[in-house]
């Protein structure tokens, strides 16, 4: 990968210097290198092209950063609505808690399941969900690995995300509160994720020098081929790092979405809505305090444990209400809750616990949430803008039973 990357960089340098001759990088294959950073790339260039870097180091470095962000090592894949069905389907996987594969036992399963149950049941469930639903995007909403029991964070992530990667389906991930408790920091975990195959995840948004957390980014889903919206984003997806634990001594408990992240969200939402008034969906790990506003009379699903949000309210829910585009939020964290409830025009949804090494409830099936966004049909027969947002859950039982099918939002 390093050879290919340097080759692309050399081309950019060549164009920048308008014809100055540079040396070609070796073309002989080498073993895959470890993950690289922007600084590593710059050091390589300084060794190979000292005179060029002395003259144009700042320009070259900007090109390198832009290249790395835009291509994500593989070339960015544009998300688009299906032109046959006029749909875009998202599979949410919450709280895999993957550790060391077959060596890692399951938690909270029935006695007859325990002897043969491990992390492999988790990845098998992912594969079954992919086969059953054929999603257009897979979203992992944190605690993807369970740090305390993961011997090697990189190896655990490679195994946990393997079904998504082998499916060739685009996927994204955000961090939970346990991902960084193994051999990598939160930044290190996210750095590894963004270099994996087929991921659209980003370390952080380009152009924002100061933003809290790692894994704040947005994606646009464009209209179907042949429609009037082929070059317009008609569904916007937001991904945020909800933190792990409070770093303020006087405030106990979990982390929260900070002011800098909310500013980025507001700016991004405003810019996107200036182009097209498209609905949005938000994905992060720790639920907002507003999730506690629901009881069995005003949600679909179950609430079997408390709402483990931050002990302070940072105001992100109000920020989303003011922005006006987010129609639903999807979190994990509380494995025994799987409900959706609507508050001030925004649906607040849990996915329910997915992973077998995560705490659960014996006899209560692990589960996953599916979201389908459907387009309206225009008078000319082409697909138009978003008409509805629908969701359901599937249980990891013999039939992958579907439950709690509901409409979250409708244009009409």
Q: What is the pLDDT of residue 275?
A: 84
Nearest Cα to 32, choosing from 153, 196, 166?
A: 196
Cβ burial, residue 275 (10 Å; 0-12/13-18/19+): exposed
Q: Compute and round to an integer the Cα radius of gyration of the chain.
A: 22
Phi, psi at 372, each rounded to 5°: -120, 120
Kindly report the average pLDDT of the chain as a whole number.
Answer: 87
Q: What is the pLDDT of residue 273?
A: 94
Residue spans of the chain under pLDDT 70: 1-76
Q: What is the pLDDT of residue 2?
A: 42
d(C-alpha 242, C-alpha 250), whole Å = 19
Give the residue carrying structure tokens 């506690």.
292
Q: Give just the sign of the alpha carbon dihedral 240, 351, 77, 276.
A: negative
Give the residue carrying structure tokens 């082409």.
382
d(C-alpha 118, C-alpha 98), whole Å = 9
Give the residue carrying structure tokens 């950019």.
12
Q: Tokens at residue 327, please? A: 């129609």
Backbone dihedral region for residue 73 (phi beyond 0: left; psi -120 to 50: alpha; all else: beta): left
Q: pTM (2 decimals)? A: 0.83
Looking at the DSSP assignment, which residues form a beta bridge with residue 331?
A: 350
d(C-alpha 334, C-alpha 142), whole Å = 11
Strands across the sheet containing 402-410 = 171-174, 137-141, 87-93, 367-377, 383-395, 402-410
Q: What is the pLDDT of residue 7?
A: 44
Give the residue carrying structure tokens 């991004």.
268
Cα dihedral angle (94, 100, 105, 107), rounded to 10 degrees? -20
Cβ burial, residue 39 (10 Å; 0-12/13-18/19+): exposed
CATH number of 79-410: 3.60.21.10
Tell me the three-class secondary structure of 155-224, residue by residue.
HHHHHHCHHHHHHCCCEEEECCCCCCCCCCCHHHHHHHHHCCCCECCCCCCCCCCCCCCCCCEEEEEECC
d(C-alpha 378, C-alpha 7), whole Å = 47
Q: What is the pLDDT of residue 4?
A: 46
Contacts of 1 (CB under 8 A, 6+ apart): 32, 33, 36, 73
Q: Tokens at residue 79, please? A: 């998300």
- State pLDDT tens for residues 105-151: 999 999 999 999 999 999 999 999 999 999 999 999 999 999 999 99
Looking at the DSSP assignment, which residues form a beta bridge with residue 93?
A: 140
Q: What is the pLDDT of residue 207?
A: 84
Query: In a 3-state reduction of DSSP, which class is residue 3?
Result: helix
Q: What is the pLDDT of residue 27?
A: 38
* Consecutive H or E run containing 346: strand 346-350
Nearest Cα to 113, choosing from 98, 125, 96, 95?
A: 125
d(C-alpha 105, C-alpha 295), whole Å = 33
Strands 402-410 and 383-395: what pairing? antiparallel
CB-based contact 340:299 (threshold 8 Å): yes
């Amino acid at each position: 990968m390093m050879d290919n990357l340097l080759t692309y960089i050399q081309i950019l340098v060549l164009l920048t210097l308008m014809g100055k001759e540079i040396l070609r990088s070796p073309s002989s294959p080498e073993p895959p290198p470890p993950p690289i950073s922007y600084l590593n790339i710059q050091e390589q260039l300084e060794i190979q092209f000292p005179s060029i870097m002395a003259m144009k180091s700042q320009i070259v470095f900007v090109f390198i950063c832009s290249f790395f962000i835009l291509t994500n090592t593989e070339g960015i894949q544009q998300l688009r609505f299906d032109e046959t069905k006029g749909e875009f389907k998202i599979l949410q996987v919450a709280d895999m808690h993957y550790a060391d594969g077959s060596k890692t036992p399951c938690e909270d399963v029935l006695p007859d399941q325990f002897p043969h149950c491990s992390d492999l049941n988790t990845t098998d469930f992912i594969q079954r969900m992919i086969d059953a639903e054929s999603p257009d995007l897979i979203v992992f909403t944190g605690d993807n690995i369970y740090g305390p029991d993961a011997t090697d964070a990189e190896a655990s992530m490679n195994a946990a995300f393997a079904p998504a990667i082998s499916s060739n389906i685009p996927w994204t991930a955000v961090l939970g509160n346990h991902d960084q408790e193994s051999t990598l920091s939160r930044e290190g975990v996210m750095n590894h994720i963004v270099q994996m195959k087929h991921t659209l995840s980003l370390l952080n948004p380009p152009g924002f020098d100061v933003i809290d957390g790692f894994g704040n980014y947005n994606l646009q889903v464009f209209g179907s081929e042949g429609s009037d919206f082929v070059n317009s984003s008609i569904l916007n997806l937001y991904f945020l790092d909800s933190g792990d634990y409070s770093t303020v001594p006087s405030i106990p408990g979990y982390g929260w979405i900070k002011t800098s992240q909310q500013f980025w969200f507001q700016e991004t939402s405003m810019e996107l809505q200036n182009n097209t008034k498209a609905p949005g969906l938000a994905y992060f790990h720790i639920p907002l305090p507003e999730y506690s506003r629901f009881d069995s009379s005003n949600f679909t699903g179950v609430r079997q444990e408390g709402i483990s949000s931050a002990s302070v309210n940072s105001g992100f829910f109000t920020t989303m209400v003011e922005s006006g585009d987010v129609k639903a939020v999807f979190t994990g964290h509380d494995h025994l809750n799987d409900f959706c409830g609507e508050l001030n025009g925004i649906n607040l949804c849990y996915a329910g616990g997915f992973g077998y090494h995560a705490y659960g409830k014996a006899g209560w099936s692990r589960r996953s949430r599916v979201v389908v966004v459907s387009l309206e049909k225009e008078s000319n027969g082409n697909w138009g803008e978003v008409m509805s947002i629908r969701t359901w859950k599937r249980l990891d039982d013999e039939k992958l039973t579907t439950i709690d099918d509901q409409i979250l939002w409708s244009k009409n």
